[in-house]
């Protein structure tokens, strides 16, 4: 089956870019939200190509033809980029001090607040360390997707 881009590429590409812009700065990211996010992304990609699920066209190939990366990887890359930015700050900077700050007392009910430990897990998954972040050019290459 041949799938090609139509004349609406600019509009469709803009649609994908707008969705990615919203997605990249999303803060809440439990596993079920990741799955829902990937499903929504693939629905949009399939809609752009006018491909139905029953056509059994691989999602990876459709993404490659559009030149887009997996949404979850983009979120992870943006989180690591911010983490590197904070690590490069001076030790006296209030943002960097917040990384080591431990709040005393019990926390409120509900979902646990986001912590730097989650970002550090992403670093461990990619074998990154704090020293890598001190070299901006190298850090940018290391966190880059693909």
Q: How far apart are CA 110 and CA 119, in angstroms?
A: 21
Q: How many CB atoms lie within 10 A of CB 74?
A: 15
Q: What is the pLDDT along the chain (146 residues), one digit of tens a residue?
A: 434 443 333 334 444 444 444 444 434 456 677 888 888 888 988 898 888 888 888 888 888 888 888 888 888 888 889 989 998 888 888 888 888 777 788 877 887 766 777 788 888 888 888 888 889 999 888 888 75
Q: What is the pTM of this model?
A: 0.64
Domain definitions of the chain by residue range: 9-68, 74-143
Q: How far apart are CA 68 and CA 70, in angstroms?
A: 7
């Amino acid at each position: 089956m041949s799938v090609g881009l139509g004349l609406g590429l600019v509009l469709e590409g803009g649609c994908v870019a707008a969705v990615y812009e919203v997605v990249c700065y999303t803060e809440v990211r439990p596993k079920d939200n990741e799955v829902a996010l990937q499903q929504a992304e693939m629905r949009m990609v399939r809609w752009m190509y006018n491909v139905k699920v029953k056509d059994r066209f691989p999602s990876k190939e459709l993404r490659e033809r559009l030149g887009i990366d997996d949404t979850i990887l983009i979120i992870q890359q943006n989180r690591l980029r911010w983490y590197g930015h904070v690590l490069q700050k001076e030790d006296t900077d209030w943002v960097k001090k917040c990384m080591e700050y431990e709040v005393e007392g019990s926390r409120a009910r509900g979902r646990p607040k986001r912590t730097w430990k989650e970002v550090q897990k992403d670093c461990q998954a990619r074998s990154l360390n704090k020293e890598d972040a001190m070299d901006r050019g190298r850090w940018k290459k290391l966190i880059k997707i693909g």
